[in-house]
Amino acid sequence: MELLLVIIIGLLYAAGIYMMLRRSLVKLIIGLILLGNGANLLIFLLGKIVKGKPPIIGPNEKMLGEIYADPVPQALILTAIVISFGLQAFAIILIKRAYKVVKTDDLDEMYATDEDL
């Protein structure tokens, strides 16, 4: 399974970067999202994946048993997902706004500041 996940990670990175290299702003955002997902999966994988043992302490216990999924990467990824949502939401609205003002989403045509418009 890890091998397959590794391939998926590579694919996510490649797709994300390819999209970021496009000239369209919308594609840039999509690329950013894909890249972020790839990074999350990478962290998740490197924290050792364990099947069916969530880091939740049983009803009659005071600490986790021997084998459990690592909680630290999970906490990190949770934070990352939420933050990247903030970034995405802002970026999407920014694109919408920019498109409305400059009437293009081609990065190469956005070379003037709004004062020159």
Partner 1 sequence: MLTAVISGFIFALLIPIILGRLKSISTLWVALLPLTLFIYFLSKIPELLAGNPIKPSYQWVPSLGINLDFYLDGLSLLFVLLISGVGTLVFVYTSAYLKGHHYLDRFYAYLSLFMASMLGLVLSDNIYTLFLFWELTSISSFFLIGFNNDKKDSRKSALTALAITGFGGLFLLAAMVGLGQITDAYQISAMAPMADAIKDHSLYGWVLFFLFIAAFTKSAQFPFHFWLPGAMKAPTPVSTYLHSATMVKAGVYLLARFTPVLGSHEWWNGTLIIVGALTMVYAAIHALFRIDLKGILAYSTISALGILVFLIGLGSPDALLAASIFILVHALYKATLFLVTGIIDHETGTRDVTQLGGLNKVMLPVGIAAMLAALSNAGIPPSFGFVGKDLIYEATLGMGNLAWLLTCLAILTNVALLVAGFVAGIKPFLGKLPEKFKNVHLPAPSMYVPPLILASLGILFGLFPGVLEGGLIKPAVSSLTGTTPDFHLQLWHGFNLIFLLSLITIGSGTLLYFFLKPSESLLKKVSTFDRLSPQSLIMGISRGFALAGKGWTGFFQNGYLRYYLITILGFLSLLLAYRLFIGVDLLINTDVMTEVTFYEAVVLLVMAVAILFTVFSKSRLAAVASLGVVGYSFCLIFLFYSAPDLAMTQFSIDTLTVILFVLVLYNLPKYLKLSDTRVRIRDGLLSLIFGALISILALEVMSESLSKETSEYYAENAYILGKGKNVVNVILVDFRGFDTMVEITVLAIAAIGVFGLLKLHLRSTEKE
The binding track of 31-70 with respect to partner 1, each residue x by CB under 8 A or -, is: --xx--xx-xxx-xxxxxxxxxxxxxxxx-xxxx---xxx
Interaction with partner 1 in 83-112: which residues (CB under 8 A)?
Answer: 83, 85-90, 92-97, 99-101, 104-108, 111
* Alpha-carbon span 81 to 97, nearest angstrom: 24
* Alpha-carbon span 8 to 2, nearest angstrom: 10
User: Which residue in the set 24, 32, 113, 116 belongs to the binding site for partner 1 (CB under 8 A)?
Assistant: 24
Three-state SS at 2: helix
74 sits near partner 1 (criterion: CB under 8 A): yes
- Record the tokens describing residue 50, joined without a space: 């364990």
Shortest spacing between CB 100 and partner 1, in angstroms: 7
